[in-house]
Amino acid sequence: MGFKVAIDGPSGVGKSTLAKGLAARFGFLHLDTGAMYRACGLYLIGLGAAFSDNAAAVEALRGMDIRVELGADGQRVFINERDFTPVLRTPDGDHASSAAGKVRAIREELVARQRAIAAGRDVVLDGRDIGTVVLPDAEVKLFLTAGAGIRAARRAAENAAKGIASDPAETLSEIERRDYADTHRAHSPLAKAADAVEIDTSAMSADEVLAAAAAIIEEKRGG
């Protein structure tokens, strides 16, 4: 069966950081589902496919073979054997994933892949619809929140640590734009599952969030 942990929440709230920490601590596999939307969107844009139309997306997806490798050194996403990993976390990847995430046929295809990867394993998945759609029976569901200003400041600090300059106003407006797109799309919008535990991370460090989430998992596993 496997023990399943679902992590959802808005952009920049620290879902991937938490998922990686939990995977290392409990020996779970970690699947970053956002990376699949990023790769799929970039692939379809590269084809020149008019995929915002569901019928066109169904057609374009026929030739797409997406493969996710979950290794010790992180996750890699391949489409038709091209490795998209280096280009996923770019402004083009942000844009492509938002566009791809709106299309029903794309969501159905990727959700089916995500369920197949998770089947029978101990896993932690992070995304927007994990607790509500992908793994409705997950043993633990976490929903992370933090104010948009706080998430923008964290993103700017992350960029600064990597030596990338970013404009604070632009970073905030990009976060607000993605919040709006994620919560207002017609198919599987970002939402907290009724049985998810909400963690407001606004005043917490990454280590504190990890400790709080680990305690929830330990209680569930022990009980």
By CB under 6 A, residue 37 contacts ligand DC: yes
Q: Which of 9, 21, 101, 131 binds ligand DC (CB under 6 A)?
A: 101
* H/E run at residue 79: strand 74-79
By CB under 6 A, residue 178 contacts ligand DC: yes
By CB under 6 A, residue 174 contacts ligand DC: no
Supply the DSSP symbol for 196: P
**Binding-site string for ligand DC from residue 181 to residue 200, where x marks contact by CB under 6 A and - marks none:** -x------------------
In degrees to the nearest 10, what's the CA dihedral of 31, 142, 97, 118?
A: 30
Q: Which of 5, 6, 44, 129 binds ligand DC (CB under 6 A)?
A: 129
- Is residue 68 within 8 A of residue 75, CB to CB? The reply is yes
Q: Which residue, 77 or 213, is less far from ligand DC as judged by CB?
A: 77
How many whole angstroms separate alpha carbon 221 and alpha carbon 223?
Answer: 6
Q: Which residue stretch of 75-83, 96-104, 136-144, 196-204 sits at the interface with ligand DC (rule: CB under 6 A)?
A: 96-104
Give the residues across from 88 on adjacent strands. none
Which DSSP string do the residues of 93-141 spell out, in sequence order? HHHHHHHHHT-HHHHHHHHHHHHHHHTTS-EEEEESSIIIII-TT-SEE
Task: In angstroms, give the least distance from the CB of 181 to ligand DC.
Answer: 6
By CB under 6 A, residue 127 contacts ligand DC: yes
Q: Measured between alpha carbons, how far apart are the two ends of the chain, in Å?
A: 17
- Is residue 77 within 8 A of residue 96, CB to CB? The reply is no
Q: Which residue stretch of 121-129, 139-147, 153-161, 203-211 sits at the interface with ligand DC (rule: CB under 6 A)?
A: 121-129
Q: Which of 22, 34, 39, 201 binds ligand DC (CB under 6 A)?
A: 34
By CB under 6 A, residue 33 contacts ligand DC: yes
Task: In angstroms, give the least distance from the CB of 88 to ligand DC.
Answer: 7
